[in-house]
A = this chain, B = another copy of it.
Amino acid sequence: MDCINSHDTVFKHLTKEQREMLNEQKSCKSYKKGSEIYQEGSRTNGLYCINEGIVKIYKTGIDGREQIIYFAKSGDIIGYRSILSGELACSSAKTIQDSTLCFIPGDMLISLIKNNGDFALDVLQQSCKELGEANSYITDIAQKTVRERLAEVLIKLKENFDIDENNELQISLTREELANIVGTATESVIRLLSEFKQDQLIDLKGRKIRLINIKKLEKISNAFG
């Protein structure tokens, strides 16, 4: 995907000139699976748009345990928060697949926001959406059981990432990563996945997870309304 020229990204309202300027200033790069893009606590002086691949955004907590906040995929932008809030990065970013990312300098971002109101609104929309999701996440973790949250995570992975014709999630995560999304121990994830499998809700083949009974999973995840 060519983020900057796509009509599906935050850059959709740029003028032709702005696009050209951006194309000049950006620098794209390939990253192997597992590469650090930026680190919590560092000063990021630009943002990245994801051309291809998946990047996990996470914080490091107690004992260095990861808490995964979300996954960014093709067309998403990451790393912009710290520039705009004027704080240090509050999270780290690491590729979980081979990926291609474009770097855009921070002053370019600021200048675009100042000079293009529609772009400013699009960036605001992006950050406000993330904020809404974060708020839901807080409530979920605070109130739902691990079982409910795991079911929810599976549903969300299905909604946000590719799935093949058999409802098999194409995103490949370790059990530990799943645990770090849900906010629980690796062993708990393993046990619950086995349960789900026994209950014919999912099927497991190594890291491949196939969703069989989505309705039931939603019911488990839901607890709300």
> A: which residues have CB within 8 A of B?
59, 61-62, 65, 67, 69, 80-82, 84-87, 90-91, 110, 113-115, 117-118, 120-121, 123-125, 127-132, 134-144, 183, 223-224
Task: Give bound CA distance, A110 to B80, whole Å.
Answer: 21
Do B183 and A141 touch across chains, with their CB atoms under 8 A apart? yes
Task: Give bound CA distance, A128 to B65, whole Å.
Answer: 24
Interface of A, secondary structure class, is helix
Quick one: given A138-B137, A143-B183, are A129 and B61 in contact (CB under 8 Å)?
Answer: no
Task: Give bound CA distance, A110 to B118, whole Å.
Answer: 9
Do B141 and A141 touch across chains, with their CB atoms under 8 A apart? yes
Do B117 and A115 touch across chains, with their CB atoms under 8 A apart? yes
Task: Give bound CA distance, A115 to B116, whole Å.
Answer: 9
Q: From residue A161, how far is it (CB to closest CB) to chain B in Å?
A: 20
Do A121 and B132 touch across chains, with their CB atoms under 8 A apart? no
Question: Which residue of chain B has its CB nearest to the CB of A67?
Answer: B139
User: A125: which of B85, B132, B137, B140 is its contact (CB, 8 Å)?
Assistant: B85
Quick one: given A62-B223, A139-B67, are A127 and B121 in contact (CB under 8 Å)?
Answer: no
- In the bound complex, residues from chain B placing their C-beta under 8 Å from that of A118 are 114
Do B134 and A85 touch across chains, with their CB atoms under 8 A apart? no
Task: Give bound CA distance, A19 to B77, whole Å.
Answer: 33
Task: Give bound CA distance, A124 to B117, whole Å.
Answer: 12
Task: Give bound CA distance, A117 to B115, whole Å.
Answer: 7
Question: Which residue of chain B has its CB nearest to the CB of A65?
Answer: B143
- In the bound complex, residues from chain B placing their C-beta under 8 Å from that of A131 are 81, 85, 90, 127, 130-131, 134
